[in-house]
Structure 1
Amino acid sequence: MTDAPKTADKARLVVGISGASGVIYGLRTLDACRELGVESHLVVSKSAVLTLQQETGLSVAALNERADVVHRVSDIGAAIASGSFRTLGMIVAPCSVRTMSEIATGVTSSLLTRAADVTLKERRTLVLMVRETPLHLGHLRTLTKLAEMGAVIAPPLPAFYAKPASIDEMVDQSVGRTLDLFDLQWAPVKRWGEDLETISSKAEV
């Protein structure tokens, strides 16, 4: 697939998948966009292709089928490389250290990091699901710089208060909470005080 034709008032979200472990977060983000009626624009790094095969056994074709529009990572002339192309923002799921470092410097070498840079300059929401541990001081300083630039740092940490019964539920909770940042409410998310009882409601008076 290439750039989609112009559509009026269509919510769009750019989804970047980099080479860090956790490609399932990107897959489920694409699934969520499809369920929510949000037009997904996918860009995948070369390293992410290797991770996809190792962690899921899926082909690139199978991944691309989950997106509405697929952009080549080398296509710096793609629609998502321009601020005039309106989107809700961008999520990088997962986000590798190399990817976050490129975004932080503004010296971008691919469409993935260029699209993230555009998201920041247009003051749109950029969510980075950074996958790395432990973090050394250089990593932490880079993350601080990104936060100061306006990016949202959202490591995919499990929410045990939601009492997940499977890895799939843990993944969906993390993905859903990042989609909240774009004002997108995805059904699988379990919410405190709504789907889940608060501690105070259980306490004896």
Structure 2
Amino acid sequence: MKRLVVGVSGGSGIPYALDLLRALGRLDVETHLVVTSGAKRVMTAEGGVRLDELTALATVVHEDRDLGASVASGSFRTDGMVVVPCSAGTLAKIAHGLADNLVSRAAHVTLKERRPLALVLREDPMPRPMLLNMLAAHDAGATIMSASPGFYHAPGSVDELLHFVTVRVLDQFGLEAGGFRRWGEGE
């Protein structure tokens, strides 16, 4: 069974996390969810996704301030981590090794153990410090992704747009979500 850490930080776009957790549940992946205080504030401001919806989809839920959680240690084996959405602040912490909450600590552990780490950014425009942080995180071993769905599959709903990003994230971990027409396939 695969085991992934899913971090949710305070960037706009919590529905991406919800869609990813649903897909991981269908794939029977063990998920360790960490939701930052910033993400909880965004959920309240945006409406639409509630904390209990996210936590109900996770196998294990960790408090973001619990730096003694299993996912804070490299000896706890995982198949990687995704932060979705990844705020500019969380990106900066990860890029510079600042592990002051469980999301950034788990990301630090993921990088030091050379496991896949996908950071799904959902913020525009991108100022120079953010671009430099993206490069630093990339150079440390993270995969930088944007929550930017494609349109070649002719999406008919917001859910299909969300699923496009989910499928691309799952690709980073060798997981196949299904229900998606890839470019050049199925024509």
User: What is the aligned partner in structure 2 of residue 6 from structure 1?
Assistant: none
1:156 to 124, 130, 147: 147
2:120 is aligned to 129
Aligned partner of 1:114 in structure 2 is 105
Any conservation in 2 of the 1:176–1:188 contact (CA below 8 Å)?
Answer: no
Please identify the structure whose Cα radius of gyration is greater: 1
CA distance in 2, matches of 1:134, 1:68: 35
1:169 maps onto 2:123 in alignment: no
* 1:175 counterpart SS class: helix
- Kindly report the root-mean-square deviation, in angstroms, between the aligned alpha carbons of the 2 structures: 1.1
Q: CA deviation at 1:54?
A: 3.0
Query: 2:42 — aligned with what?
Result: 51
What are the within-5 Å matches in structure 2 for residues 8-157 of structure 1? 10-157=1-148
Is contact 2:111–2:141 with CA below 8 Å preserved after alignment?
Answer: yes
Tell me how far 1:127 sits from its aligned partner: 0.2
Contact 1:39 1:68 in 2 (8 A): yes
TM-score when normalising by structure 2: 0.96
Higher mean C-alpha deviation, range 68-77 or range 186-195: 186-195
The answer as to whether partners of 2:96 and 2:136 remain within 8 angstroms in 1 is no
CA distance in 1, matches of 2:60, 2:128: 37
Secondary structure of the residue aligned to 2:149 is coil
Deviates most, 182-191 or 32-41? 182-191
Q: How many residues align?
A: 187
The structure whose RCO (Cα within 8 Å, separation 6+) is larger is 2
Where does structure 1 lack aligned partners over 5 or more consecutive residues? Answer: 1-9, 198-205
SS in 1 for 2:57: coil
Instruction: Give the secondary structure class of the aligned counterpart of 2:21.
Output: helix
| Normalised TM-score (structure 1) | 0.88
1:7 is aligned to none
Secondary structure at the aligned position of 1:153 is classed as strand
After TM superposition, give the deviation of residue 107 of structure 1 in Å.
1.5
> For residues 59 and 157 of structure 1, do their structure 2 counterparts lie closer, same or farther at Cα, with a shift above 3 Å needed?
closer
Alignment deviations for residues 147-188 of structure 1 (CA, whole Å, 9 cap, x no partner): 111100010112111111111101101111110110000013
Percent sequence identity over matched residues?
Answer: 45
Letter in 1 for 2:52: A
Amino acid at match of 2:18: L
